[in-house]
Amino acid sequence: MNIPEQLRKHGLFDARVPRYTSYPPANHFRPGEGHRHQSDWLNAVPAGSEISVYIHIPFCKRLCFFCACRTQGTKTLRPVDAYVEVLRREIANVRKCLPSGVKMARLHLGGGTPTILSPATMALLLDKVFAAFAPTTDIEFSVEIDPTEAAPELLATLVDFGLNRASIGVQDFAADVQDAIGRHQSFEQTDRVIQQLRGLGVDNINLDLLYGLPHQTSDSFAATLQQVLSLCPDRLAIYGYAHVPWMSKRQVMIDAASLPDTYARFDLTKLAQQAFVSAGYDEIGIDHFALPSDGLAIAARAGRLRRNFQGYTDDTTPTLVGLGASAISRFPQGYSQNAAATSAYLDRIASSGLAGHNGYEMQPQDILTARVIEDLMCCFGFRETRLLADFPEEREAIHATGIALMRQFPDAFFIAKGGLQIREDFKPLVRVIASRVDGFLAQNSGACLGDLAERRCNKSKALRAQKGASPLGLWPHPRDIFGQMKSAGPYIAWPQDVAVGEPAAVDA
């Protein structure tokens, strides 16, 4: 049986499950919870500790048809400048809530298109950021760059403030694909921006690619992959195009009939994997590749890989402060997401100084579940020995979950490294496997896997018992669960969650 058939046998090939850039995924955040906790959680950050900062710029000059990021189009810089003024106010207010001596270890500007800012406005923003949050000596400062909107003066300004990593959107170089996605970006233009950055001393370059775009074929994509490799990036992210016109209205411009089907998408991912691995890149998680000398590859080898709203990361700081419309802050106590629509964000900063709205306070069982899911996503393992060491009081739940995983996916796991490891062929299924310990999905579907999901699931269990459904321990076939979710679609499917810096619902 070939790999897609083997995966399909589990009824899982087409499943739509979260991307698990957070647990719980952002669609489970609750209205008002962010507002309620944000200032207390900022206050509780330990004095002198290190934090990461994310700043969201929700503007682009042109809107690409494929894009599901939270952004809006603008022809002039007037709304952008006004937004940055408000961001500066938010930075000052957040700073007042934090204790003294906090240091910024990471700064990431995402969007939208941060490079839409004029050099003067960017300098105003960064002046404020660096005055508010003193950087560590080895700070990583990264920016998402659209090469069609990256003036040399702006790049020089970023470098003056210490930019040392750039994340550049490529997607695909084939002309008919670019026509269909409304994004015209030549190889030469992309190369020029990369050379400029390298000339200015920015040595760490990530490139984003998409598979599953309209008219993409194995031949056309192979050509793009060769062009991409000739740019010698340090890291590559290859995301599956998520066609979600009900969330991202601009995608109606893309003819669904021109999209590759599930099997073709699978072939495209395999093509990329083979090209990158044979060019010497390490495979990181489900959708990243990195040179063995890159921080991400080093973290993966050391078992330090983490998951955050940008995907995979080697950032281990417990606090991420999100600034700007829709930005999510992560604290050990939970999540707080700023008001998502730009207008609502501006109103909140004007009225209360902070913009937290949706949020989630972590409960004890969520902390363990989050860790199990992050381990699965980052190292394809259920590391029972380590979990028992970190959560000794949860011995029974951990053990029961391991057994349940092994029973439900007998051919997906093997026993190793003090727990369970996912077999190579089943790695594309990791999100689906992780979703089976996700208490929120279990709660919705009435299906519980092991004690972790079961705890959140008690209410559903009682209901099922009333209806005479199977007792716990006889789990329904995954098809029965995912059949209830939104229409089946791509191989690595669209997130049910909404993540900043990642494709998300649009507000314009």
Ligand X SMILES: C[S@@+](CC[C@H](N)C(=O)[O-])C[C@H]1O[C@@H](n2cnc3c(N)ncnc32)[C@H](O)[C@@H]1O
CB of 448 to ligand SF4, least distance (A): 38
Amino acid present at 125: L
Pairing of strands 381-382, 328-331: unpaired
Q: Residue 213 interacts with ligand SF4 (CB under 6 A)?
A: no
Tokens 């020029």 locate to 192
CB of 478 to ligand X, least distance (A): 24
Considering the complex, state which of residue 267 and residue 451 has its C-beta at the smaller distance from ligand X. Answer: 267
Q: Residue 26 interacts with ligand SF4 (CB under 6 A)?
A: no
Q: Residue 446 interacts with ligand SF4 (CB under 6 A)?
A: no
CB of 363 to ligand SF4, least distance (A): 34
- The item of ligand SF4, ligand X, none sharing an interface with residue 377, based on CB under 5 to 8 Å by kind, is none
Binding-site size for ligand SF4 (CB under 6 A) equals 11
Amino acid present at 362: M
Going from the C-alpha of 115 to that of each of 57, 111, 167, the distances in angstroms are: 9, 9, 11
Q: Which of 26, 60, 244, 405 binds ligand SF4 (CB under 6 A)?
A: 60
Residue 208 CA from chain centroid, whole number: 13
**Residues 68-87 as x/- pattern, contact with ligand SF4 by CB under 6 A:** -x-x----------------
Q: 450-466 and 364-379 are packed helices; what angle lies between their axes, rounded to 10 degrees?
A: 120
How many other β-carbons are positioned within 10 Å of the β-carbon of residue 497?
Answer: 21
Q: Which residues neighbour 306 within 8 Å (Cβ) at sequence distance 6 or greater?
A: 299, 312, 313, 314, 315, 316, 374, 378
Considering the complex, state which of residue 86 and residue 109 has its C-beta at the smaller distance from ligand X. Answer: 109
Judged by CB under 6 A, the stretch of 63-71, 95-103, 394-402, 453-461 that binds ligand SF4 is 63-71
Judged by CB under 6 A, the stretch of 109-117, 281-289, 297-305, 392-400 that binds ligand X is 109-117
Q: Residue 169 interacts with ligand X (CB under 6 A)?
A: yes
Q: Which residues neighbour 273 within 8 Å (Cβ) at sequence distance 6 or greater?
A: 283
- The item of ligand X, ligand SF4, none sharing an interface with residue 242, based on CB under 5 to 8 Å by kind, is ligand X
Considering the complex, state which of residue 149 and residue 314 has its C-beta at the smaller distance from ligand SF4. Answer: 149
Amino acid present at 182: G
8 Å CB contact between 245 and 252: yes
Which residues sit opposite 360 in a β-bridge?
335
Pairing of strands 334-338, 328-331: antiparallel
- The item of ligand X, ligand SF4, none sharing an interface with residue 409, based on CB under 5 to 8 Å by kind, is none
Q: Residue 208 interacts with ligand X (CB under 6 A)?
A: yes
Q: Residue 113 interacts with ligand SF4 (CB under 6 A)?
A: yes
What H or E segment, with its residue span, contains residue 84?
Answer: helix 78-97
Query: E strands along 231-286, which residues?
Result: 235-240, 282-284
**Interface positions, 153-182, toward ligand SF4 (CB under 6 A):** 169
Q: Which residues neighbour 194 within 8 Å (Cβ) at sequence distance 6 or greater?
A: 147, 166, 168, 205, 231
Considering the complex, state which of residue 113 and residue 329 has its C-beta at the smaller distance from ligand SF4. Answer: 113
Q: Which of 502, 507, 486, 500 is nearest to 244 (CA)?
A: 486
Q: Residue 146 interacts with ligand X (CB under 6 A)?
A: yes
Both structure tokens of 475: 């789990």
Burial of 47 (0-12, 13-18, 19+ CB in 10 A): exposed
Binding-site size for ligand X (CB under 6 A) equals 18
CB of 110 to ligand SF4, least distance (A): 9
CB of 443 to ligand SF4, least distance (A): 33
Q: How far apart are CA 179 and CA 258, in angstroms?
A: 12
CB of 483 to ligand SF4, least distance (A): 32
Both structure tokens of 126: 């960064």
CB of 113 to ligand SF4, least distance (A): 5
Total count of residues recorded for the chain:
508
Q: How far apart are CA 54 and CA 69, in angstroms?
A: 15
Q: Residue 310 interacts with ligand X (CB under 6 A)?
A: no
- The item of ligand SF4, ligand X, none sharing an interface with residue 489, based on CB under 5 to 8 Å by kind, is none
Pairing of strands 282-284, 288-290: antiparallel
Q: Which of 58, 428, 489, 503 binds ligand X (CB under 6 A)?
A: 503
**Interface positions, 50-69, toward ligand X (CB under 6 A):** 66-69
Amino acid present at 468: G
Considering the complex, state which of residue 110 and residue 402 has its C-beta at the smaller distance from ligand X. Answer: 110
Judged by CB under 6 A, the stretch of 8-16, 64-72, 363-371, 394-402 that binds ligand SF4 is 64-72
Q: 262-278 and 218-230 are packed helices; what angle lies between their axes, rounded to 10 degrees?
A: 30
- The item of ligand SF4, ligand X, none sharing an interface with residue 63, based on CB under 5 to 8 Å by kind, is ligand SF4
Binding site for ligand SF4 (CB under 6 A): 60, 63-64, 67, 69, 71, 111-113, 146, 169
Summarize as ranges the residues that interact with ligand X (CB under 6 A).
66-69, 110-111, 113, 144, 146, 169, 171, 208, 210, 239, 241-242, 501, 503
